[in-house]
Every structure is written in C-alpha cells, then in structure tokens.
Structure 1
Amino acid sequence: MNTAAVVRQVSHALAEAKELYRESNTESYAQHVAASRALPGGNTRTVIFVDPFPITLTEGKDAQVKSLDGRWYRDFLGEYTAGFYGHSNPHLRAAAMAALDRGWSMGGHTEAEAEMAFLLQERFPSMELLRFANSGTEANLYAISTAMAYTGKKKIVVFEGAYHGGVFVFSGASRHPLTAPFDFIVAPYNDIEGTTALLAQHANEIAAVIVEPMQGSGGCIPASLEFLQHLREWTALHGTVLIFDEVMTSRLSYGGMQAVHTITPDMTTLGKYLGGGFSFGAFGGRSEIMNVFNPLRPNAIGHAGTFNNNIFTMTAGAAGLKHVLTKSLIEEVNGRGEKLRRQLNELVSGSSLPMTFTGRGSMMNVHMTRANVRSVRDLKDNIVPLRDLFYYDMVREGFWIAKRGMINVSIPTTDADCEALLQAVSHFVESRADLVLS
C-alpha cells in the first residue's frame, strides 16, 4: 500500500464528504456563526469541535441525540464515556428533581455526600478514604499534588498517549502548552523495559506513577496485566504512590479495572459518568495518604471547592449507583461492547482498508492501521484523513461518534443499535475500498 497515494485519494473523498456535511447541516452552521461572536471559533471545549463547523445538539433521549437541523442520531459517543446512563434515565431524573425541590447551594454538609462516598468505597475498596471534586481533571490534579505532599518528592511519571484531564495531555512529543507545570517523566506505555530504565534513573525522586489501565483519549489502548503488575511492584518497592486513573475505565467492571486485574493502587481517581450526568470527580486511596486532609488533625492540608459536594451530583450519582449500575447490568453492557468490537474487527479483517478497533468492554476506538496497537507508538502509520472520512460517513448514516474514532456502548444502547452500526461500517468498508486499491 502506497500511503502517500492513499492519503491523496482519501483527501479528495474527504472534501466531498465535508461538502455534503455542510449542505445537510445549515441550521448548525448558522448557530456556529452566531456562537463565534462570543466564543473563540464558537467553541468552549476543543474535543467536540469539528471542521468546518460542529453540529449543534438540541435534545437527547435514551441512546439518541437530535440536532438543530432536526435529525436524530444513534448515540455511540455517550459523551466520551460520561453519558453511560443515556439521556433519559428515570432514576437520575427523579433524583435531580427531588434535589431541586429540597433546595441547593446550601453551603453545608449533607447526607447525600456521605452516602455517595460510602457507595464508591464499597465498589472501590482501594479508596479507604476519598474526597470529591468537580471533574476527572481536578481529581487527577489533587491526586498528584497529594502524592507530592505525602512523599516529599517532586517527579511524576506519566505515559505517552496519556490524558489525565485538560491540564495533563501527553499525546505528542512536545509539551502541551496548558499542561500543568509539574516535573513529569514521560515513559513508554506498555513497555516494561523502557519504563523500568526511566524509573531507575530517578528512583529516589519519584512521588507518583499515574496510569490509565486503558488509555481512553489515547485511543482505547488497554495496558497489559504484566505492565500494570510491574508498576505495582516497582512503586511498592520504592515508596512511590501508584495512582490508577479510572476516570473512564471504572465503567468496565463493578470495581473498575483494578478489580479485573486484582491490583490495588495506592490512589484512585474517578470522574465522568459516576456523577449521573452532572460534573463529578473523586480521588482517594490509603487512609494514611488521605488523612492529610482530615481537618481535625494539626497541620491538615486544606482542599476547597464550592461545588465539591453539590447536591445534584451527590443525589443523582448515588441514585445511579444504587438503582441502575448493578453488577449484572455492567457485565451485560460491557459484554455487548465486547461482542460489537469483535464483530467489527471480523468485518474489517478481510477488507482492503487498514482498520482495527481497539478497546475493552463498552469502550473502543477505530484506528486506520493494520498494526497491533499496544501504544501510541504503534499508530505512526495511522491514516488520519481516512479516520476523518469514517467520521463524516458515520454521521451521514445517522451515528454519533467521536471524530477521533472513539465509540462507546451505553446502558440504553440496544442490540438493534449495534447491528445498525455494523451495517454502516460494512457499507463504509465496501464503498470506500477503492481508496486503497492500487
């Protein structure tokens, strides 16, 4: 396959797809133009922007979303894993309405925050004590800072392709300009030998190693059991805090990926869907670490945040954990995702298009390469224009996915939805096969 020639042909097809996109979404374009008068590029969240303009959404129901242009889409994005419950779960709605009736922003402790903490503690025993925040970004910021304060050390090990929130982006060789000014050591993901070499160079200076058991924004790339076990053993031996960022992966089993792998980290961070659709973050871990925040202790560290215990997140989050996210339901949804990803890979395996779907359970990502993807280093031949074309073709077929190729199965996603997606991908494979044929 001549990659340069493929890119030229795909670019032509992509231009045509974008033109159809423009013609089909005129109301969204008008809204984008209006929004641009107050927001830079009409945008306040980079990941949801789409060139030449984003589709504006007006409504969501179950596993569907509706655009300003009047079209309904099968939602296979699920708000980048935060929309696990779908858009109209009655338990979450009832909880939020009850919170409205009782009053909000009361400026004090509530029963709801303790209940939410108990529910999380039960599912994630590694969180012997925990505290709330307003996003996964905040949770990771606090967890890293806590590890530094607890150990008295300054260096933090992260991994290539990692995303730990808006101020912790490690997708490329250069440092993202908004990355927090910590002393980071960037190690190769899923590479025990390469990581060990870097750890050895700074063994006495490392406060924490933070890792996603499966990189989410990096392309749904699972860490191997051996890799995670090695990190656990090394950090325990050197007095380093091991942080599992389970902001996304906690939805992959009742107790997250730490339960699947039976690895207990020193700290865990959570976010996304656990707030029941409201802003949510949590960080916690071993009692001796988290007790640095105990205000009854002398020299306790203060941790502020007006909305840390906001009543909507605490009430809706607890309702979801109590009434919706049973162990059997989580297994069912992740089983549906496993089946879908397996079927998608079987579908594309005989195609002329270089495509593979990575992931685990209800989370997956398409990559336009035939490589065995174990880290972002394996994506050097990924044909990004072909992935963009896939996005526009899926939107035209009525599917809402991430432009970067992320696809998620949510609780209300049905077998019929999955079958429809398989048919749409099959059509893409057939209709676009000529783009890579010499």
Structure 2
Amino acid sequence: MGTTPMTTTLDQLLSDYRDQNGASYQLWRSAHDSLPGGNTRTGVHVDPFPVYTQQGEGVHVTDVDGNRRMDFVCNATALILGHAHPDVVQALQSRASKGTAFFGPTPIEIELAELIRERLPSLEKVRYCSSGTEAVLNAIRVARAHTGRPLIAKFEGAYHGIDDPALVSYVPPVTDELGPAHRPNPVLSSRGLAPGTAKNVLVLPFNDADASEALIRANGGQIAAIIVDPLSTAAGLALPDQAFLDALRRLATELDIVLIFDEIVSFRAGSSGTQGVYGITPDLTCLAKVVAGGTPGGLFGGRSDIMSLYDPTNGTPAIPQSGTYNGNPLVAAAGLATLQGMTPDAYRHIETLNNRISDGLRKAFDQSNVKGCVVNVGSLFRIYFTEKPPTNYREAAKDNKSRHRWLYFYLLNHGIVSRQGGCVPVPLTESQADTLVDTVAAGFDEMPDDL
C-alpha cells in the first residue's frame, strides 16, 4: 500500500537552499560592498539571496558551490542553443583573435543582417544596437519621426526595456489606480521618468480588440506607434487571439500608425518569430537575446521608407544613431552562429520537446490536488496556478505567487532552474524533459495546501 507524501514547508525548502548554497551566500554578502543590494540586474534578485553561477555547458549550469542544475531559464530565453555551444564558442574565439571592435564596419554585420532578413522578411532594412532596450528606444524614436506624432500606444503589463515610455504600466500592482480594464490608466512603474512621460503613452488592454480599437480611434491622430509583445511574455505568456493581432494591423494601416512588434522574447515562437506564426507583417520589429547568441546585442528594422530616416548617404540623417558597439563583430559572430544552428530540424526538436513538457505538466496538474494550467508556444512554456490560462495582464496578475515561490526553491533544491516555466534549449533530451516533468509532479505532491 502506497504512502501519502509529506508536505514540505517553504521554511524547510529555504533551510535546504541555504545549506546547499553557502558560497553563493558569502559572495552575495561581499557584493554589497560594491553593488547596491549586492545586485546589478533587478530581474535576477532572489530573496533570501541568489545563486552565483560558475559556468554553463549545454543544458546545465554549475554554481560556485558545485551544484549542477538543468537550466530552463537560459538567461531570460537568450540561449536557445544552450550554454557554451561549441559553434558559438568557436565563432567567438575565432573572431576575438582577429580583434574585438573597430571604428568602422565589418563584413560579418552584413552577413548577419542578410540572414535575419531571410528569416523575417518584414525587416527590409536593419540597424544594430547593444540591447533590447535600445532596439525599442530607437524604434519608438523613428516611429515618432516618421509620423510627426507624440503618442506611443503600449499594452498594460508589457515590458519593453527600461526607456521612459517602456516603464509606463509595466507589471503595475492591480489596484484602483489602474482604472477600468477596457480603458487602463497610464501608471508610472519607476521613479525618475521625464515629466510628461505618462501623458505621451496610451495604455491598451491586451487581447481586447474592441476596447483597443475604441482607444486607438479616439487618439488616432496623435499616435505614432503601437508597440506590442505579441505573446505578452513579461505579463505572463498570454497567447493572442488572431482577431486581436489582425485588428492591430488593420487599424495601424488605416490610421497611418507604425505597428512595432517587440519580438525580443517572442522570436522563440518559430523561425520567423510570432509574426510568422500568426501571419502578421509589422512595420518595425525589435530583436535581441537569441539573435545576439548570448552576447549583449540587439537590432531593429522594418520598412525601408521608415528606416531611410537613418540613411547618412544624402547628408546628415534625420535621426543620428551611433554606438561604440553597434554591429560589434563579436556579437555578430555569436548571433550568426546561433541562427545558423537554428535549422528547421532544431526548431522541430525544441517545439516537440516543449509539447512533451507542457502535456506532461498538464497531466501532473490533473493527477494532483494542485489546481493550475500550462501555456506553451514554440519553445516557451508557462505554468499558472489558475483555473484557466490568462488572456491579459490583469488575469495573469491573479496567479498564486506564493506557490510559484515554493516551486522555484523546490526545483532549485532538486537540480532544476525554472521560473514559472521557462524555455527549451536545443541540447535538451527527452529524458531530461521527462525529469523536469517528474520533478514538478513530485513537487505538487509535497506542496502545502495553504499556499
């Protein structure tokens, strides 16, 4: 006769976590001497302290205490080929031996641009930058220059980097300050933003075509751009209705608004990104993470007539855009090696494994007393402790954060890095995918009911 597993409290998990990660704790304490809160990247902060990584290889990361874990975060989805992929390492080493940066163009920046244009035909022209934040900043600027209008329309809860407009209504607390769901108020998500920032941002409800259309039409003559993460990845992982994306494209065309797709994460949906999956052609696209191959780089691009505002061949361009590391050959080498490694077979492999993981997690929910659901697309998957998959930010915000915190530490203590789900890297095997599912299922059996 089987026995019912004992529940494990969060305090017990944290005690085990501290025992396993003593060297990380000491590093975190020493980091306070030079870094505010021992931190230089808000998103990686962990209470009580983070794990310090020593190295990565393939699917695994090893920390300073010698703990080896499977990694389903992959540096915020950037490492689609996994850690230290031999082709990427060789490309970086070969390029570094010839010089790491030059005050002038290099052939490899053309090669990468051509491959990106092949994968995403909407990018007729491309410009490089050094991060996703810069890609969004530049796309917004060129949209304003092209239209002569001030307003940027974005969706509630979406993350588009740390430029001022992007930090309006970025995962704000769900309070009365947000206003009605069909007409969200712009809410500042950071101190120090320029005066008037909120007035120049129109906040829209994700996946609500009718409400979004009403707001866009009411402000159409002032809107320069609609920027959308088509999978709402920061606000959760909300799959868009086809009619919703179709409506954005139709309205942008009708009202001469620039439609910007932020595919910095959602590019993982397939070889042509989410725009390929849903058959939508944006006017501009922002990319980073995967296309930089694990190095600090980004790019933006789109319609030739819009991107021509950067053209310096006819005198001073309408928009000057320079950067010491724009088109950096190291970044381009890593990005090129990564995209070349992402063959049709590679995409099929990670999508197949993602379906295997997601179906297994759904079965784990069905066979446990824990209520929840799973959303997946391409190589991305998201666990929710909700009755059904959210369709927008306010629904996603109802997720049970206490259960996610418990599961995060349970998985860490059992050799897995996963934050509310994650992504599938190419080196992952079926056996490793099953280990993730089995470990989560075991965690559900030990999860306290009162979380």
The answer to whether the superposition gives a TM-score over 0.5 is yes
* Displacement after TM superposition at 1:380 (Å): 4.6
Contact 1:155–1:208 at 8 Å: present in 2 too?
A: yes
Distance of aligned partners of 1:15 and 1:175 in 2 relative to their CA distance in 1, 3 Å threshold:
farther
Q: 2:331 aligns with which of 313, 318, 331?
A: 313
Q: Which runs of no fewer than 5 residues in structure 2 stay unpaired?
A: 1-6, 173-177, 179-186
- Counterpart of 2:4? none
- Counterpart of 1:416? 431
Q: 2:48 aligns with which of 49, 52, 56?
A: 52
Q: Give the 3-state SS of the residue equivalent to 1:198 in structure 2.
A: helix
- Counterpart of 1:3? none
* Displacement after TM superposition at 1:39 (Å): 0.3
Distance of aligned partners of 1:413 and 1:242 in 2 relative to their CA distance in 1, 3 Å threshold:
same
- Counterpart of 1:430? 445
- 2:372 and 2:310 map into 1 onto residues whose CA distance is 48
TM-score by length of 2: 0.90
- 1:406 and 1:152 map into 2 onto residues whose CA distance is 41
Aligned Cα root-mean-square deviation (Å): 1.7
Contact 2:238–2:391 at 8 Å: present in 1 too?
A: yes
Question: Aligned ranges for residues 234-313 of structure 1 at < 5 Å?
Answer: 234-300=251-317, 301-313=319-331
Query: 1:174-197, CA deviations, whole angstroms, 9 ceiling, x for partnerless residues?
Result: 311166736111111101122112
- 1:51 and 1:14 map into 2 onto residues whose CA distance is 12
Question: Aligned ranges for residues 61-72 of structure 1 at < 5 Å?
Answer: 61-72=57-68
Query: 1:227-259, CA deviations, whole angstroms, 9 ceiling, x for partnerless residues?
Result: 101100011000000001111111221111111
Contact 2:59–2:425 at 8 Å: present in 1 too?
A: yes
- 1:47 and 1:359 map into 2 onto residues whose CA distance is 22
Contact 2:9–2:448 at 8 Å: present in 1 too?
A: no
- 1:339 and 1:65 map into 2 onto residues whose CA distance is 22
Q: 1:176 aligns with which of 160, 164, 189?
A: 189
Q: Give the 3-state SS of the residue equivalent to 1:214 in structure 2.
A: coil
- Counterpart of 2:182? none
TM-score by length of 1: 0.93
Return the letter of the residue paired with 2:321. Answer: H
Question: Aligned ranges for residues 92-171 of structure 1 at < 5 Å?
Answer: 92-167=88-163, 168-169=166-167, 170-171=170-171
- 2:376 and 2:159 map into 1 onto residues whose CA distance is 16
Q: Give the 3-state SS of the residue equivalent to 1:215 in structure 2.
A: coil
- 2:303 and 2:375 map into 1 onto residues whose CA distance is 32
Contact 1:252–1:330 at 8 Å: present in 2 too?
A: no
Contact 2:382–2:421 at 8 Å: present in 1 too?
A: yes
Distance of aligned partners of 1:136 and 1:416 in 2 relative to their CA distance in 1, 3 Å threshold:
same
Contact 1:219–1:358 at 8 Å: present in 2 too?
A: no
- 2:350 and 2:438 map into 1 onto residues whose CA distance is 20
Return the letter of the residue paired with 1:175. Answer: L
- Counterpart of 1:345? 362
- Counterpart of 1:31? 27
- Counterpart of 1:41? 37
- 2:268 and 2:397 map into 1 onto residues whose CA distance is 29
Q: Give the 3-state SS of the residue equivalent to 2:261 in structure 1.
A: strand
Contact 2:374–2:389 at 8 Å: present in 1 too?
A: no
Return the letter of the residue paired with 1:37. Answer: D
Question: Aligned ranges for residues 183-222 of structure 1 at < 5 Å?
Answer: 183-222=200-239
Q: Give the 3-state SS of the residue equivalent to 1:221 in structure 2.
A: coil
Return the letter of the residue paired with 1:14. Answer: L
Share of identical aligned residues, percent? 32
Q: Give the 3-state SS of the residue equivalent to 2:190 in structure 1.
A: coil
Contact 2:70–2:416 at 8 Å: present in 1 too?
A: yes
- Counterpart of 1:359? 376
Higher alpha-carbon deviation: 390-399 or 371-380: 371-380
* Displacement after TM superposition at 1:382 (Å): 1.9
* Displacement after TM superposition at 1:433 (Å): 5.5
Divergent runs of 4+, >4 A: none
Return the letter of the residue paired with 1:385. Answer: S
Question: Aligned ranges for residues 3-22 of structure 1 at < 5 Å?
Answer: 13-22=9-18
- 1:114 and 1:256 map into 2 onto residues whose CA distance is 21
Q: How many residues align?
A: 423
* Displacement after TM superposition at 1:261 (Å): 1.2
Distance of aligned partners of 1:68 and 1:306 in 2 relative to their CA distance in 1, 3 Å threshold:
same
* Displacement after TM superposition at 1:434 (Å): 4.0
* Displacement after TM superposition at 1:198 (Å): 1.2
Q: Which runs of no fewer than 5 residues in structure 1 stay unpaired?
A: 1-9
